[in-house]
Amino acid sequence: MSAIDQKFSELRAAGKKAFIPFVTAGDPSLDLTARVLQTLSDCGAAIGEVGIPYSDPIADGPVIQASYTRALEAGCKLKDIFAAVRSVAPQLKMPLASMVSYSIILRMGADKYIADAQAAGFSGAIVPDLLIEEAGPLRELCRARDFSLIHLVTPTTPPERMLRIAESSSGFLYFVSITGITGERNEIPTDLIDKVSWLREKTELPICIGFGISQVEHVRRLAPVADGLIVGSALVRRMAEELPDAERLENVRTLASQLIQAMSK
């Protein structure tokens, strides 16, 4: 059982849902990345998702793409990300998952990536460009190390494939709310709740919804059918504002607190 499995076990026993914030490592700096993770943990976030900057991001909208570009142009390296996370992870009350391209894992070597990620304080990885047909070797390594391997399903994933992906995943299943890229949205697809509700009846794996969630109203509508909600672009945008660091962190704290409060109602 990974720390992510344990967190969901605790949340379910308490009748609570997981607020899962996404932050881009190294934007605007790795020091601030560590500080915003601490801020989000202190707010009550259940799991922290850390984006590993990549030059060809998968399904990311303009806000997160721009944050990846800034981090890479500033010279952000994987070893430095691991060092920054290692500096704060012991103080966090939430486990961490990396959002990472499979090409990064392959280049480093899957066994080394998992070992180094765990040493840094990560408890799992979301790998958006890894097909379940090719996930077997990595899945076995992750299971042997109690390291969650989190896959994604989308609104266009056929039902039978959703079930296969759920069987291949551990930690939780990432349910993409929209057909398209990440980014703040005003509306949520009308059939999303029905699709998530159907899948929840078919699997015991926690289901967390992401992409486009940025408003209190989104949270109130989706929290009843999901085990957790993932918020990314709205937080990344606040971290990118040209403000003193203390103000950026306070803006993140304010939004996170509002969304967490809405999940509990």
**For the stretch 35-50, what's the b/e string if a residue is b when 16 or more beta carbons lie within 10 angstroms of its beta carbon?**
bbbbbbbebbbbbbbb
Q: Rounded CA gap, 194 and 203, in Å?
A: 15
Residue 146, beta-bridge partner list: none
Task: Count Cβ atoms below 10 Å from residue 147 Cβ, excluding itself.
Answer: 24
Quote the percentage of the chain above a pLDDT of 90: 77
Q: Is the predicted pLDDT of residue 231 greater than 70, yes or no? A: yes
Give the pLDDT confidence score for residue 74 in this predicted structure: 94
Q: Rounded CA gap, 241 and 258, in Å?
A: 19
pLDDT tens readout for residues 105-152: 999 999 999 999 999 999 999 999 999 999 999 999 999 999 999 999
pLDDT tens readout for residues 24-63: 999 999 999 999 999 999 999 999 999 999 987 665 667 8
Determine whether 8 is exposed, middle or buried from the number of CB atoms within 10 Å of its CB (0-12, 13-18, 19+).
Answer: buried
Positions marked active-site: 49, 60
Give the pLDDT confidence score for residue 1 in this predicted structure: 86
Pairing mode, strands 173-176 and 207-210: parallel
Q: Is the predicted pLDDT of residue 265 greater than 70, yes or no? A: no
Superfamily per CATH, domain 18-263: Aldolase class I (3.20.20.70)
Give the pLDDT confidence score for residue 219 in this predicted structure: 86
pLDDT tens readout for residues 151-208: 999 888 999 999 999 999 999 999 987 654 444 445 565 678 888 999 999 999 999 9
The model's pTM is 0.92
pLDDT tens readout for residues 66-78: 999 999 999 999 9
